[in-house]
Amino acid sequence: MQTETSNIKMVQAPEGVEGAGFFATSLEKVVGMARKNSIWPLPFATSCCGIEFMATMGAHYDLARFGSERLSFSPRQADLLMVMGTIAKKMGPVLRQVYEQMAEPRWVLSVGACASSGGIFDTYSVLQGIDRIIPVDVYVPGCPPRPEQIIDGVMKIQRLVETESLRRRDSAEYKAMLNQYGIE
């Protein structure tokens, strides 16, 4: 409960039935709210966008405000794969392996022109967009995007996380989408 003197910000409760001594809402909304406010990213930073992301993590922009304090370079416990920078074709299998090692539910944020489309590197050695090998939820444009744009991308992911149904990952459409990429 928020007191008058405290400046701790609390999350808005989801809509539900409120009465004396009880509050009833759907499980989906509670889980969505919890997931949304504790997204743990896995930064896959290969070039300049990664530097921009470091600024996003820094004190001024402070991505930790969104519950993303724990960054780890490990697929364990990670919910969000943030791909930042040029992905060469030789790096493609590595990125795909990292994605496959993440547990469901998982989201992917593609930051910057290179990760999204190959960017200015329209050449034989560069993957022309990571969506050729893994599914992507949100694209952040820019070369490189400013920290505000990366935060905007994270907030768009948060909206997806909040509204996602608990059964979406079991649906036939989702399985078919993964099968397009050859991921079981």
Give residues in contact with another protein (CB under 8 A). 89-90, 117-118, 122-126, 128
Distance CA 124, CA 13 (A): 51
**Residue 160 Cβ, how far from another protein at the closest point, in Å?**
25
Question: Which residue, 31 or 88, has its beta carbon nearer to another protein?
Answer: 88
In which element (H, E) is residue 52 found?
A: helix 48-57
* Integer CA distances (angstroms), 46 to 14, 51, 54, 71, in order: 38, 9, 12, 15
Task: Kindly state the smallest distance separating residue 63's Cβ from another protein, in Å.
Answer: 31
15 marked among binding-site residues: no
CB nearer another protein, residue 56 or residue 117? 117
CB nearer to another protein: give 30 or 94: 94
Q: How far is the CB of 95 from another protein (least distance, A)?
A: 14
SS3 content of the chain, % helix, strand, coil (to 5): 40, 15, 45
Q: Say whether 48 counts as a known binding-site residue.
A: yes
